[in-house]
Amino acid sequence: MTGVQTCALPIYNINNNVKKEDVLFILGDVAFGGFENVRLFMDRIICDEVHLVLGNHDKHIKINRDGIKNCFTTVSTRLEVQIDEDMFVMDHYPIREWEGCHKGWYMLYGHQHNTPDKRFSNGDVRSMDVGFDSHPEFRPYHIKREIIPLLKNKVYQSHH
């Protein structure tokens, strides 16, 4: 599951869809609502395991201002995650080619703030904008129930 916004509605939508024992991936811009709100935002999320992939609005988190990285399980610029038999590359930005793209790996990103009808706008059929804005219900996507079914039958098209 992933998300990118920092206002009251996403907190409600996160906590209604992501349980304490789940894993939440935030693909950047958690500080978009202001660095001073990051700790308040994170304190309200009930999920215990939250991984942040840094976005372009997260410069204060990147330098660990006021020890803010402690609010997250991990903080990175890109993640490679295996969930069951599926591999995912998670980045804030869409990437045209990524590790494992020719082997069926998925690319998930959040930077573009697309509407639901444009969540596959990267041009790569195995990649997807998984930010809140791209979800029809403005909430995190569930990887197994939503993302994999949307992408599993698509084949990566080379750009060479």
Band of the pLDDT at 119, cuts 50, 70, 90? Answer: confident
pLDDT for 5 equals 40
Contact (CB, 8 A) for 156 and 98: no
pLDDT for 118 equals 76
Q: What is the mean pLDDT of residues 106-132?
A: 80
Contact (CB, 8 A) for 117 and 98: no
Q: What average pLDDT does the structure give for the chain?
A: 87
Phi-psi region for residue 123, left (φ > 0), alpha (ψ -120 to 50) or beta? left
pLDDT for 122 equals 61
pLDDT tens digits for range 97-117: 899 988 999 999 998 777 777
CA triple 140-49-58, angle to 5 deg: 70
* pTM score, whole prediction: 0.88
Rounded to an integer, what distance in angstroms lies between the CA atom of residue 86 and that of residue 45?
26
Residue 2 has pLDDT above 60, yes or no: no
Q: What is the mean pLDDT of residues 91-96?
A: 91
Among all chains, which residue has been given the structure tokens 């998925």? 106
Helix (H) or strand (E) holding 120: none
- What letter represents residue 132's amino acid? F
Reduce the DSSP state of residue 83 to 3 states and report it: strand
pLDDT for 8 equals 54
Cβ atoms < 10 Å from Cβ of 84: 8
pLDDT tens digits for range 44-54: 999 999 999 99
Residue 68 has pLDDT above 60, yes or no: yes
Q: What is the mean pLDDT of residues 61-87?
A: 96
Q: What is the mean pLDDT of residues 19-34?
A: 93
- Counting residues of the chain whose pLDDT is more than 70, the rounded percentage is 89
pLDDT tens digits for range 137-160: 989 999 999 999 999 887 766 655
